[in-house]
Chains A and B, each alone.
Chain A
């Protein structure tokens, strides 16, 4: 589902990713771990074509992102669900409107929008918060809205870039368990994080990055934290 072959990414001559080779199969759940500056976010941005590699090739579902014309990037992103550390919710829109917004832009029928938003809110256990505004919700609830928005279009791949970065440990665990449940429904999930607690609690595949290089890729792995990565 996700494949990177000999990927290098430089910013002004400074390497952010060095010869990264990675394969995530359909239905996999994987953590991408490493300290700040290890290259996790850069790798995630390559996957949703916010960036293009300096060299090497990135594939999503067999699609070569290097060859994807700029005017077709939106078609790739429709096949991805993306969750962000800062939630990226529209503050003046209700929870329902935040999730429905993208569906409206895609021309989905009003009746289907209601059904799909309700279903997504049900998955994240926020059925009763449809009419609430983001600032009326806790951080964990806002992130769950972000996840509902990411899955509302039924994407085969879910990318979560530091989804628990702004949350307390208990809420972080809830969020990552929610992502795990979404994975059980067949969605490929890749989470970038430096949160030791959530990685070690789930014992899933752990891909470790350090200074832009993959230093380990372990099934049912743990993350020793930043000290171990230095």
Chain B
């Protein structure tokens, strides 16, 4: 009971501290909300790209585009002899062209498509090996495999991740400075109270906790703002992606759904941690008990 009364008193002190800080509350919250939005956006994007990379990368298929004049069936037999090849499907250029004309309403021009072989591979670590061996065949013009695209996407993701971390770190430092200044002002305003409380035997926990909670409250409110913004963007973008990007859309959309809750949880924890640690550091620096 005594502990709960102390906690109640700490919460009241926190509320008074927030009231005392006035407009500077909003300065801290807006800067922290921007930092968290950028961090959350990049986190969300990198998680989605990661999921996309994984889905693509796990497709055990190589497409081989044949040069004109080569018989697809002969090449298919040759490829099927290679170890780790499970099956080879032939897509004649005529049927591919008909399919494309039907779905995309392409004008009646000469068929530009090559004969294609879809090669299924037994294990993902063999995909690259098979692709390079197939490419060496004189009958093959080019090969494509999802792993290659996934790798490029991964490079983009890594760049975004690093850029995002750098940007977030810079904004977090700025936020910590602003939180520090705000809490310092609160400490200055309450210097006499703090001194009296200390001399009267009030514990450092009681004196410092309201300030740390105030920082955590900044983090919580900023996180909610960032989450609201990211959620709105998600709501707005989801149908757009589904409509415009056809084949890729379901994959991205499902990736977003999976990682959205995790991102929001990370944002809330990070926001509160940044807010509380900024206040903790400042109160440790300026309150000598």
Contacts and interface: CB of A to CB of B under 8 A. Distances in A.
Interface of A: 48, 50, 70-71, 73-80, 82, 88, 90, 101-102, 104-109, 149, 153
B200 interface: yes
A80 B200 CA distance: 8
Nearest to A155: B201
Given A73-B289, A88-B195, A88-B196, A107 B6 contact: yes
21 contacts: A48-B199, A70-B289, A74-B198, A74-B201, A74-B203, A77-B201, A79-B201, A80-B201, A88-B192, A90-B193, A90-B196, A101-B193, A101-B197, A102-B197, A102-B202, A104-B9, A105-B6, A105-B200, A106-B6, A107-B6, A153-B200
Contacts of A50: 199
Most buried by B among A80, A90, A105: A105
B285 interface: no
Interface string B188-218: 0000110111111111101000000000000
B289 A102 contact: no
Describe B's contact surface by its main secondary structure.
Answer: helix
A88 B2 CA distance: 27
B5 interface: yes
A109 B5 contact: yes
Given A76-B201, A102-B202, A107-B2, 9 more contacts: A78-B200, A80-B201, A82-B200, A88-B199, A105-B206, A107-B3, A107-B5, A108-B5, A149-B200
Contacts of A90: 192-193, 196
B201 A153 contact: yes
B200 A102 contact: yes
A73 B9 CA distance: 21
Most buried by A among B3, B193, B203: B203
Nearest to B5: A107
A116 B193 CA distance: 21
Nearest to B9: A104
A73 B192 CA distance: 18
A107 B3 CA distance: 7
Contacts of A80: 201
Q: Which 5 pairs across A and B sit closest by C-beta, in order of nearness?
A: A77-B201, A78-B201, A107-B6, A107-B2, A102-B200
Nearest to B200: A102
A77 B6 CA distance: 18
A105 B196 contact: no
A107 B201 contact: no
A148 B5 CA distance: 23
B194 to A, nearest CB: 11
Interface string B163-204: 000000000000000000000000000001101111111111
Nearest to B203: A74
A136 B88 CA distance: 96
Nearest to A91: B192
A221 B270 CA distance: 65
A109 B6 CA distance: 10
Contact of A75 (B3, B5, B195, B201): B201
Nearest to B206: A105
Nearest to A93: B193
Contacts of A109: 1, 5
Contacts of B2: 107-108
